[in-house]
Amino acid sequence: MNIETIQTALKDIPLGGLRYFEQVGSTNDIALQWAEEKDIRDYSLVLANEQIMGRGRNGRKWQTPPDTALALSLILLPNSNEKKKLILFTALGALALAASLKEKFNIDAQIKWPNDVLIDGEKVAGILVEANWIGDTPKAVVLGMGINIRSEAVPPTKETLFPATSLEDALGAPMARLDVLRGLLQALVNWRPRLGGDEMVTAWDEHLAYKGQQVEIRGRDGQVTQGKVLGINKDGSLRLDTVQSIHFGDVHLRPSRV
Ligand code: BT5
C-alpha cells in the first residue's frame, strides 16, 4: 500500500483529499487537526499502515500492527440535517462495512450496538467517531475505523476485552486491504444520504447482533441492565424487552450467562 496504489484503488470515490502515513500515533488525531484547516473538504481521508497510539473509546487502546489492517479516519462535513444526528455516524460506519462485506465478499457481519462489527461473535472492527466543534456547532465529523484484515492484526486474547478476529480468518482466503477499503467507502457514500432514515434503521436492525438473545448492558455508572434484544428504535437507541431503551454510548454489551 502506498499513495499511488491507494489513489488508483479509490479513483471512483469522491475524496476531498488523501493523506497516507506509514506510521502514525492515531489517524483520528491527524484528521481532527486537518479538519481545523480552512479549506478542509468533505470526504477527506487519513489512512495509516500502522498506528502506535490508536485509540478506542474512553481511553482504551486500539492496536494496528503494520501491514495487517486498515486504520482510517474519514472527515465528513455534516449538513444541517446531519448535524442533528451526529450520534448515528457510528452506525453509518458499521452498516457501510457490514453491507460492503456482504456485497463484495459474501461475509455475514453483525453490528454490536453501538459501535463494533462482529463476525460469528468476534470483533473484526471498531469505530470511534469524534467531532470538531465551533461553539456548540459541529464543524467536522471524524469517522475513525479500525478493521482487522490479517490474523496478525488480532491482539493476543489476554489483551482484549472481547473475542476478536480478522476478515481473512472469516473468509479463509487472502484479501487486498484496498479492495475492502474501496467497498467500505462506496457503501458509506451510498448510505450517507439515508442517515437516520427508515431504510438505514431497517438495514441496521437486520445486521444487529444478539437479536432475540438475553444480554446484559453495563453503563458508565456500573449499573447493569438485563433484557432480550428486540431491535433498533427509529432514533438509533437499542430496544430491549425491559422498560427502558438504551441511549448512551459507553456500554459493555455481552450475551448474558443466564
Ligand atoms: C473501539 O473502541 O472499538 C474503537 C476503535 C477505533 C479504532 C480506529 S483505528 C482508526 C482511528 N484512529 C484511532 O486512533 N482510532 C480509530 P472500544 O469499543 O473502546 O474497544 C477498544 C478495545 O478493543 C480495547 O480495549 C481492546 O480490548 C480491543 N482491541 C484493541 N485492538 C483491537 C483489535 N485490533 N481488534 C480487536 N479488538 C481490539
Tens digit of each residue's pLDDT (9 = 90 or more) over 1-57:
999 999 999 999 999 999 999 999 999 999 999 999 999 999 999 999 999 999 999
Position 224 scores a pLDDT of: 79
CA of 243 to the centre of ligand 1 (A): 31
Q: What is the pLDDT of residue 244?
A: 59
237 and 200 within one domain: no
The verdict on 111 and 193 lying in the same domain is: yes
Q: Are residues 202 and 219 in the same domain?
A: no
Question: Is 218 within 8 Å of 224 (Cβ atoms)?
Answer: yes
The residue whose CA has the least distance to atom 16 of ligand 1 is 144
Give percent above pLDDT 90 in the chain.
Answer: 81
CATH code of residue 90:
3.30.930.10
Q: Residue 229 in contact with residue 199, Cβ under 8 Å?
A: no
**Ligand 1 atom with the shortest distance to the CA of 58:** 19
Q: Based on the domain organization, do 163 and 248 belong to the same domain?
A: no
CA 15 to centroid of ligand 1, rounded, Å? 25
Domain residues for the domain of 230 are 214-255
Model pTM? 0.93
Single out the residue in 206, 223, 242 at which a domain terminates. 206
The pLDDT of residue 169 is 97
Confidence of residue 174 (pLDDT cuts 50, 70, 90): very high
Ligand 1 site residues, Cβ closer than 6 angstroms: 26-28, 51, 54-57, 60-63, 71-73, 115-116, 123, 126-128, 144-146, 148, 153-155, 160-161, 164
Shortest-distance Cα residue to atom 30 of ligand 1: 62
- Judgement on whether residues 101 and 151 belong to the same structural domain of the protein: yes
Domain identity same for 188 and 244? no
Do 156 and 230 belong together in one domain?
no
Chosen domain end from 206, 226, 244: 206
Which residues in 100-185 belong to E strands, given as ranges? 110-112, 116-119, 122-134, 137-148
Q: Confidence band (pLDDT; 50, 70, 90) for 258?
A: very low
**Domain count of the chain?**
2
- Same domain? For 230 and 136 the reply is no
CA atoms within 13 A on the CB side of 81: 6
Residue 213 burial (C-beta neighbours within 10 Å; 0-12, 13-18, 19+): exposed
Q: Are residues 30 and 142 in the same domain?
A: yes
